[in-house]
């Protein structure tokens, strides 16, 4: 694992293999780490990073505020997340890449395709998040944290987050929980934040990030303007509504829909379908 400072934030990343670059935007919601490609529900039985590295230079990283990466207290948007990926490519001297998103990483991938079309060779969208239940649960996550801050203050957040939890597992601990837990200097700075400013950020982020009942990351009009080829691999649960994948099928002008549903998707055949797609668009 290597470290880079991207826009003032420490980012942990791994590079495997050689070939056309493949930027991996990890699943895991707000716990988006490299290891999720190896251990999460949809990625078991085969090391996906190793498999994809047989034909690609695979670039995987812990997204900001996740795992071993750092963070900064500020308003976070899909563009914020996409820009981090783009700046990691800048750091590595890579002009363009295939971009693969898993779960909430698909939303980041869509934003990447919208904001950086010249850097996007193609999009692989595995289990895009979406659906009413996804929107409601994510908005509730931010609202729960806001309520906790009102009752317990930022010192209370630091105390809770210091137990080593994550925003995904424990919403009350907040989106900066993992950074607080592993970085005492950050925790001290966090506790000194202006509470009113902080609560304004939290009140804004949830409704902005999860503003629709379908796939998030970009507006329909923006998605319809993505010219890069794409392959959509549908999910089928409360967080990855199949309707969200069909929405992307409708909107992406150069999108292919892989008509294989879980549980018939395996890590092996997902990787094979990914490699088939990237071979066709090199």
> pLDDT tens-digit profile of 43-71?
998 999 999 999 999 999 999 999 999 99
Q: How far is CA 10 from CA 152, 173, 183, 187, in A?
A: 29, 21, 11, 15
Structural domain containing residue 194: 133-209
pLDDT band at 237 (very low <50, low <70, confident <90, very high): very high
**138 and 126 in one domain?**
no
Judge residue 112's burial from the number of C-beta atoms within 10 Å of its C-beta, 0-12 exposed, 13-18 middle, 19 or more buried.
buried
Rounded CA gap, 7 and 210, in Å? 25
Entry pTM: 0.97
**272 and 197 in one domain?**
no
> For residue 70, which of 224, 202, 177, 197 has the smallest C-alpha distance?
177
**28 and 145 in one domain?**
no
pLDDT band at 1 (very low <50, low <70, confident <90, very high): low
What is the total count of domains within the chain?
2
What is the predicted pLDDT for the residue at 128? 98
**219 and 265 in one domain?**
yes
Compute the average pLDDT of residues 122-142: 97
Rounded to 5°, angle at Cα 83 from 35 and 2: 40
**At 97, which helix (H) or strand (E)?**
strand 97-102
**184 and 73 in one domain?**
no
**124 and 6 in one domain?**
yes
């Amino acid at each position: 694992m290597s470290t880079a400072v991207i826009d003032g934030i420490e980012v942990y990343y791994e590079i495997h293999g050689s070939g056309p670059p493949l930027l991996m935007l990890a699943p895991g919601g707000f716990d988006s780490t490299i290891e999720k490609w190896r251990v999460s529900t949809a990625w078991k039985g085969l090391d996906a990073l190793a498999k994809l590295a047989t034909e690609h230079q695979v670039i995987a990283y812990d997204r900001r505020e996740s795992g071993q990466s750092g963070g900064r207290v500020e308003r976070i948007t899909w563009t914020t997340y996409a820009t981090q990926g783009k700046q990691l490519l800048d750091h590595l001297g890579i002009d363009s890449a295939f971009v693969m998103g898993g779960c909430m990483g698909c939303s980041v991938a869509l934003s990447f395709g919208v904001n950086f079309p010249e850097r996007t060779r193609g999009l692989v969208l595995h289990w895009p998040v979406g659906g009413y239940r996804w929107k409601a649960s994510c908005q509730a996550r931010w609202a729960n944290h806001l309520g906790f801050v009102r009752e317990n203050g930022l010192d209370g957040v630091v105390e809770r987050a210091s137990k080593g939890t994550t925003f995904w597992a424990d919403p009350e601990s907040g989106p900066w929980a993992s950074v607080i837990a592993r970085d005492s200097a950050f925790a001290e700075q966090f506790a000194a934040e202006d509470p009113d400013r902080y609560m304004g950020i939290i009140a804004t982020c949830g409704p902005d990030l999860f503003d629709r009942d379908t796939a998030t990351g970009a507006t329909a009009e923006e998605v319809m303007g993505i010219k890069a080829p794409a392959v959509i691999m549908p999910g089928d649960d409360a967080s990855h509504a199949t309707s969200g994948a069909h929405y992307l099928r409708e909107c992406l002008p150069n999108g292919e829909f892989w008509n294989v549903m879980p549980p018939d998707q395996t890590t092996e055949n997902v990787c094979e379908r990914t490699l088939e797609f990237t071979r066709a668009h090199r």
